[in-house]
């Protein structure tokens, strides 16, 4: 479960546990209202516990290390790390000891490490 959904479930659970049962119990409940308030509070507690005990989703991890040498010429591109065009991708990205990247010529590019371009 993502963090956003976890927070949402927790807020709704707390609201369910507090809102209606509190109103019913403050106005002198009859038997049906007391049972309804108890059931609603129990469902809120179960939802709260369920949300708290959920493990976070595993995010992918991009890793690169000890890459070789890359050369680009005449408009080419060389990259010895991780490419995430437009910043796309989730999770961690780690680049260690990447190789050398060189670019020669017009419109050529080279990079090492993590490229969000």
Rg (the chain; Cα; Å): 27
pLDDT digits (tens, 9 = 90+) for 13-35: 777 777 766 777 777 778 887 88
- Give pTM, 2 decimals: 0.42
Specify the pLDDT at position 73.
92
């Amino acid at each position: 479960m993502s963090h956003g959904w976890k927070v949402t479930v927790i807020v709704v659970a707390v609201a369910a546990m507090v809102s209606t049962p509190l109103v019913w119990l403050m106005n002198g409940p009859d038997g049906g209202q007391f049972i309804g308030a108890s059931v609603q509070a129990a469902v809120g507690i179960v939802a709260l516990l369920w949300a708290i005990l959920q493990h976070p989703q595993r995010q992918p991890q991009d890793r690169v290390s000890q890459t070789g040498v890359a050369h680009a010429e005449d408009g080419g591109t060389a990259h010895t790390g991780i490419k995430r065009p437009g910043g796309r991708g989730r999770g961690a990205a780690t680049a260690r000891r990447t190789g050398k990247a060189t670019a020669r010529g017009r419109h050529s590019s080279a990079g090492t490490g993590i490229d969000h371009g």
